[in-house]
Chains A and B, each alone.
Chain A
Amino acid sequence: MARVGVFVCFCGANIADFVDVPAVVEEAKKIKEVKYAIDYKYMCSDPGQGMIRDAIVAHRLTSIVVAACSPRMHEKTFRKALSDAGMNPYLLEVANIREHSSWVHQKDKKAATEKSSDLIRMAVAKSIANEQLHEISVPVTKRALVIGGGIAGIQAALDIADARIPVVLVEKSPSIGGKMAQLDETFPTLDCSQCILTPKMVDVASHPYIELLPYSEVLELDGYVGNYKVKIKRKASYVNFDTCTGCGACWQKCPVKVPNEFNMGIDKRKAIYSPFPQAVPNKPVIDAEHCTMLLKGKCGICAKVCEKGSIDYAMQDEIIEREIGAVVVATGYDLWDPKPYEEYGVGRYKDIITSLEFERMVSASGPTGGVPLRPSDGKIPKSVVFIKCVGSRDEAKGIEYCSKICCMYTAKHAILLHHKVHDSHAYIFYMDIRAAGKGYEEFVKRAQVETGATYLRGRVSKIYQKGEKLMVRGEDAQIGQVVEVEADLVVLATAVYPYKDNPELARLLGISYDKYGFLSEAHPKLRPVETAKAGIFLAGCTQAPKDIPETVAQASATAAKVCGLFSGDTILKDPMISKVNTDYCSGCQNCVTVCPYQAIVTEEIPLGHGSKEIRTVAKINEGVCQGCGSCVAICRSMAIDLAGFTDMQIINEIVSI
C-alpha cells in the first residue's frame, strides 16, 4: 500500500498570496494514499528539507510530492533530501503550483487554489506508480575535440590542454587564427590584434597536448557523452608538411593568381599559398580548384623550385578517426551579405566596402600597406562615411538582432582612419550607440573627441554617385532634417551572421540551431555554454554575436566544462530514459527516424525462444538517450516506455482529475 507524503510550499508570498495553502493541504489529506500533508514557508530551505527527511522516517512514506516551484528550479534539491533519508530519489514528484498556478492566476485565488489541489492530486497519482531508478554510469574517453581554430577554438584548446587533457583541434582553412587574425587593432585598448593573437597560435602548434589538424573538416560524429567517435577529413594539401620548411619559393614562383580571401579579395594570392605571413602552421597548401597542374596537368613550377621535394601532386584526402569524450564547437561567424540594400548601390559602386575590407586596408600588413584606398581609383579617401546596422536590427531587409560589435569597431575605425589619414573626416550614421562593456563608453567618447568624427543619428536612405563622389543621403533625426554627405568612401558595418555551414554541422553533431543558423545553447541564462546534447559545448560567435573578451571568456568556460566532465573515470547520467520492450517491438523503426539524438539503433534477436530465425528490434543507447519521449509517442506498438514518465504514471495522472 502506497504511503504518500505531500509538502506544500508558501514560497514566501509567491504562492501563499494567490493560493489558499492551508486549504490545499486539507484537500490533499482527503486523498486515500496520502498519509501525511503539511505546509511550510520555504520548503527548499534547510528546515523545510528537514521536515521531509523526518516525515519519511516517521510516517514510513513510500513516495513524496512537493508542491512548490518548477522542478527545473529545485527538483535536484528535493531529490537529495529523499536520498539523505535513505529513500530512492526518483520516488519524488514535484507539483508546480507556482509557475503553473499562483503566478498565472493572480486575479482568481479560488481558481488558483482549486488548480493547485488538482496538480497535487495528479502528482500523488503519478508518484504511486514511480519506480526506483538508478543513475547510469558511463566510462569517459578523456580527449576533447575542438572544431574551429579562431580565437574561441584556440582559447578553448589551450585551456583544456593546459589541464593535461589531449585536444584535437580541427580547422577548415590552412591556418588557425580565424577572423581575429584579419583585424588590425582591437577595441577598447587598440592593442594590435596580431601581436596578442599570434603567440597563442604558436602555443597551439607547440603544445604537447594539442593535435592540430589544419585544412580539415569534421565528417561524422557517433556515440554519446564521454564516448564519441569522430571522423575527420584531412584535405589534400599537396605539400608534405614534414619536409616543407615554409621558405616560400613555391608561392613566389607560382604563376596563377586568385583573389585573396584573407584580404577580402582586395589583392591576389597564388594557387599555392599560405594565407598570411604569421600563419600557423606556416606551410603552404595547393588550392586544387585553381592549380593548373592539378586541373590540366601543365605547369609543375612549384615542384621544380622546391628544394626539399615537398610538393606531391598525387596526395589524396585522408580520413582520420579519433575517440573523444567531449566537443567544443567554435566555428565563428560570417558577414551578412548587404545585397538587399539596393538603395545603397551595393555592387554598383566600387567605393562602398564592408568593415572587414576596411579593417584589412588599415592593417599594417594588409594589401594596401595600412592606408585606406578607394577601390575605384586608388586615391586616399578624405571623407569617409560609416553606416552602422547594415542588416542588423532591420526586420525589413536584414535580421532582427543587434550584432553587438559594430558600434565599437566603427568607433575604432574612426580612430584608425584618423591615425592613418590625418586630414580625413569620418561621418558615422547610427541608430543607437551600444557601448556596454568595460572601457567601451570611454572608447566611443575618445573616438568622438580625438577624431572629431561626426555622429549622425539616423538611417541612410540612399547613396548615389555624383562625379567622383558618393552622395550619402540620410536622416539626422536629432535635428529632424535630411542630410547629404559627400563621401570618398563608404564603409558598411554589415551584420554578424552565423557561419554558413552551421546547419549542416549541427545536423551531423545532433545539436540544434536557431532560425538564423546560430547554434543553440541548452538554456539562455543558466546553461549558456552547453548544448542540449550532453558533452557538446559552444564557444564564441557560433552561438551568438560576441566581441573578443566575451568569446575568450566563453571559450574558457567550455574548457572548465570539459575538465569537469573528465574529472572522474566515469560519468553519471540521469536514468529517465527510454526502454524498449522487445516483446512488443515490431521493428518498424519509426523511433529511429524521430529520435533527435540518434540514440536509437537496431539489433537482431531470435524470433522466438531458442529460434534460429531472427527479427530486428529497436535498441536504446543509454549513453545517448536524453529522455525526450519522442520515440514513446511515435511507437505504434506501445513498446517503448520512458522511465519516470511511464504510460502507467501518465494514465494515473489523467484518471486522478
Chain B
Amino acid sequence: MTKLTYFPGCSAHGTSEEFDSTLKLVMKSLDVEMEELPDWNCCGATSAHVMTENLALALPLRNLVLAEKLDNKTMGIACASCYSRMKSTKVEMDNHPELAKKINSTIVEEGEYKGDVDVKSMLQFFYEDIGTETIAGKVTYPLKGLKIACYYGCLLTRPKNITQFDSPEYPMSMDNIVEALGATATPFDFKTECCGASFSISDTEIVLSLSGTILEMAKESGAHLIAVACPLCQSNLDMRQPDIAKKRGKKFDLPVLYITQLMALAFGYPLKDLKPSKHIIPIEQALSHIGEEIATPEVKKKPKKAVEAESEVE
C-alpha cells in the first residue's frame, strides 16, 4: 500500500467538497492510504506572495516542515494554488540555503526544514506515481462515448522550472488519464489559458470574458464536459456559466468535473457519490453520452498503385 500525505487546502474543506470526497474514494480504489497533514495552515495563496516575501515563504514552509515529521515521502496537494505555493517554496528553499535558514528561523518552534519530502499535485501523483496503466486496470465502468476537454489552468504545469511536470503549453497528462478511463480527450487548444481566477471577485468582467472563451473553445472541440484538477478552475468555469451565457447570449451547458469525479465514476462508484448537487451546471445530461458510439472518420484505403510506405513494392 502506497502512503501519501494529504494537503487539502481550504477549498477541499469548502467549495470543492466533491473533489475531496471523490479523491478519497479514488485513492481507496488505488490502494493509496492518505494521511491528512495534521495542523496544516493556509498556503498564503494570492495574497501573501504579493505582499511580503517572508510571509509568502514562511506559510508554506511550515506545512513542509510538518510534512517532514510524517513517514511519507510525498505530499499530495489537492488545490493548484496550494501546490504552486508549496512547490515554489520548496524549490526556493532547496536552491537557496541561506534564505532557507532565514525563513526557517521565523518558524523555529516547528523544527528544521530538511527538504526530504516531495511535493506533487494530485494530477502529477496519479500520472507519475500510479500511472495510466494501473488506472485503466481499475476501470469497471468505462466512460466510452464521453468526450472530454481537459483544462489544466495556469498553475499545474507552470512555471516549468518550478513544477518540472508535463508541458507548460500543451500538457497531456490529464488527457492520457481520461483516455485510460475509456473516454475520448478532445483536442483543446485552450487547456492552459488563463480563466481569470485572480480577478474572480475584484473584476468579474475579466473572468466572464476569459472563462467565456475557454468554454467556447471547449464546446467547439466537441466536448460534452470539461475535466479539471483545480478548485478555482472548477468554480470559475462552472459558477460563472450562467453569467457568461447571459453576456454572450448563448448557453454552453458544459458541466465542469474534477478528474477524481470521473475516475470515481469509472471505478464503479454510483453517480450520487459524485455529489451532483454541488454543480451549477447539471452533470447528468453530459454523462448520459457514456456508451454512445463515437463515429471515427473512415480511414481511406490507399489506392494500390505506387507504394507510399517505406520500401514496399506493389
Interface residues of A, Cβ cutoff 8 Å to B:
255-258, 268, 271, 289-292, 295-296, 298-299, 342-343, 345, 348, 462, 464-466
Contact = CB atoms under 8 A, between A and B. Distances in A.
Contact of B306 (A255, A291, A345, A465): A255
B296 interface: no
Contact of A256 (B167, B187, B217, B313): B313
B313 A257 contact: no
A258 B310 contact: yes
B170 A268 contact: no
Given A257-B306, A257-B307, 20 more contacts: A255-B306, A255-B307, A255-B313, A256-B307, A256-B311, A256-B312, A256-B313, A257-B308, A268-B308, A289-B311, A290-B311, A291-B311, A296-B311, A342-B170, A343-B169, A343-B170, A345-B189, A462-B189, A462-B193, A464-B190
A292 B170 contact: no
Interface in B280-314: 306-308, 310-314
Candidate in B168, B307, B310, B311 with the most chain A CB atoms within 10 angstroms? B311
A396 B259 CA distance: 31
B270 to A, nearest CB: 38
B189 A464 contact: yes
A637 to B, nearest CB: 44
B308 A255 contact: no
Nearest to B190: A464
B169 A348 contact: no
Given A342-B169, A348-B170, A464-B217, A299 B313 contact: yes
A345 B189 CA distance: 8
24 contacts: A255-B306, A255-B307, A255-B314, A256-B311, A256-B312, A257-B306, A258-B310, A268-B308, A271-B311, A290-B310, A291-B311, A292-B312, A292-B313, A295-B311, A296-B311, A342-B168, A342-B169, A342-B170, A343-B169, A345-B170, A462-B193, A464-B190, A464-B217, A466-B220
Interface in B172-229: 187, 189-190, 193, 217, 220
Candidate in B169, B193, B217, B220 with the most chain A CB atoms within 10 angstroms? B169
Nearest to A291: B311
Contacts of A348: 170, 187
Contacts of B220: 466
Contacts of B168: 342
A466 B221 CA distance: 9
Contact of B313 (A289, A298, A342, A343): A298
A292 B311 contact: yes
A255 B305 CA distance: 9
A416 to B, nearest CB: 30
A255 B312 CA distance: 8
A214 B170 CA distance: 43
B281 to A, nearest CB: 24
Contacts of A268: 308
A258 B309 CA distance: 8
Q: Which 10 A-B pairs have the closest CB atoms?
A: A342-B169, A464-B189, A343-B169, A342-B170, A290-B311, A292-B313, A255-B313, A292-B311, A299-B313, A257-B306
Candidate in A271, A291, A464 with the most chain B CB atoms within 10 angstroms? A464
A182 to B, nearest CB: 23
Candidate in B167, B312, B314 with the most chain A CB atoms within 10 angstroms? B312
Contacts of B189: 345, 462, 464-465
Interface string B155-177: 00000000000011110000000
Nearest to A464: B189
Nearest to A340: B169
Contacts of B170: 342-343, 345, 348
Contacts of A256: 307, 311-313
A348 B172 CA distance: 13
Nearest to B305: A255
Nearest to A396: B160
Nearest to B309: A257
A464 B187 CA distance: 10
Contacts of B187: 348, 465
A462 B189 CA distance: 9
Candidate in A291, A292, A298 with the most chain B CB atoms within 10 angstroms? A292
Contacts of A271: 311
A348 B175 CA distance: 15
Candidate in A256, A271, A296, A298 with the most chain B CB atoms within 10 angstroms? A256
A256 to B, nearest CB: 6
Contacts of B314: 255
A481 B190 CA distance: 20
Contacts of A343: 169-170
A289 to B, nearest CB: 8
A268 B307 CA distance: 11
A466 B217 CA distance: 8
A628 B190 CA distance: 57
A544 to B, nearest CB: 29
Contacts of A292: 311-313
Contacts of A464: 189-190, 217
A462 B188 CA distance: 13
Contacts of A257: 306-308
Contacts of A258: 310
Candidate in B187, B306, B313, B314 with the most chain A CB atoms within 10 angstroms? B313
Candidate in B167, B168, B306, B314 with the most chain A CB atoms within 10 angstroms? B306
Contacts of A295: 311
A295 B306 CA distance: 18
Nearest to A471: B189
A90 to B, nearest CB: 53
A271 B310 CA distance: 10
Nearest to A295: B311
A345 B190 CA distance: 11
